Amino acid sequence: MEMTNNPLANHKICYVRPVMARDVRDEIERESEDLSDAFSDDSILYALHGEDGARIALMSDREIAFAAARQHEMTPLSVH
């Protein structure tokens, strides 16, 4: 059996990218009315996307987005 040192071999890849709150305002409001006023339109949020590009989550902090991905056995990559 051949062993690999590839850290991505056993994890799904996901992508973290910054988004403006104004661009995802409708999604924030659908999730919770309490959150609709929590972020100004100029706030930067971090979207976590699966390998297929589907948005999985929105986070208020980049480091939290990366930690959440790792906690769910995904390998996060930054997208700009």
- Residue of 56, 68, 67, 74 lying closest to 19 (CA atoms): 56
DSSP 23: G
Q: What is the pTM of this model?
A: 0.74
Q: What is the pLDDT along the chain (80 residues), one digit of tens a residue?
A: 444 455 545 569 999 999 998 888 777 666 666 555 677 888 899 999 999 999 998 999 999 999 999 999 999 999 87
What letter would DSSP give residue 1? -
Do β-strands 74-78 and 12-20 pair in parallel, antiparallel, or remain unpaired? parallel
Helix (H, G, I), strand (E, B) or coil at 76: strand
